[in-house]
């Protein structure tokens, strides 16, 4: 087999890329909705960890920006805390954990956080796993 044949395995077409986005959206809509007028994220599930809420919020903001509902998907620690109705002090460790995992990143200049696109699926899968465990415990699965 030639090198070019091996490397072609890395190529995806638009249809495959769109299918991946659709899979992420299908998961996301079980977790949150986006207000059309403001881009505000409304959670569909309760009982998430703070880290999961931060991840979901930033995923929602990413999608809202892609939908052109908002101009920026980056949020400061204060904005995250305000939108999640949590004290900043209780979120800083969870945000640090998400940054360490590489799931979100912090812009050193603006000090704002945003989701890393290639980890949106990791964030959503983590939350879906929690939802699935909860549903199995309650017998709703």
Q: What is the secondary structure of 65-93 as a DSSP string?
A: HHTTSSS---EEHHHHHHHHT--HHHHHH
| Percent of all residues in the chain with a pLDDT value above 90, rounded to a whole number | 81
- Phi and psi of 39, rounded to 5°? 80, 5
**Higher local confidence (pLDDT), 61 or 13:** 61
> pTM higher than 0.75 for the full model?
yes
CB atoms within 10 A of CB 133: 11
Tokens representing 56 are 């979901």
Residue 106: the pLDDT is 97
Give all domains of the chain, ordered by start, each with its CATH number.
13-138 (1.10.10.10)
Helix axes 50-66, 77-84, angle to 10 degrees: 100
Please check the confidence at residue 12 and state whether its pLDDT lies above 90. Answer: no
Out of 6-20, 53-67, 70-84, pick the least confident: 6-20
Residue 13 has pLDDT above 80, yes or no: yes
Strand 32-34 and strand 41-43: the pairing is antiparallel
CA distances from 73 to 40, 55, 106, 128, 132 (A): 11, 12, 12, 22, 28
pLDDT number for residue 16 = 85
């Amino acid at each position: 087999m030639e090198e070019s044949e091996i490397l072609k395995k890395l190529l995806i077409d638009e249809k495959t890329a769109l299918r991946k986005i659709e899979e992420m959206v299908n998961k996301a809509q079980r977790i949150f909705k986006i207000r059309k007028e403001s881009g505000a994220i409304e959670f569909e599930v309760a009982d998430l960890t703070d880290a999961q809420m931060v991840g979901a919020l930033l995923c929602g903001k990413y999608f809202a920006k892609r939908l052109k509902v908002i101009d920026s998907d980056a949020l400061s620690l204060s904005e995250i805390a305000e939108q999640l109705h949590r004290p900043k002090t209780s979120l800083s460790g969870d945000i640090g954990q998400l940054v360490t995992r590489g799931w979100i990143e912090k812009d050193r200049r603006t000090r704002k956080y945003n989701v890393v696109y290639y980890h949106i699926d990791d964030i959503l899968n983590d939350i879906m796993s929690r939802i699935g465990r909860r549903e199995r415990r309650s017998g709703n699965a």
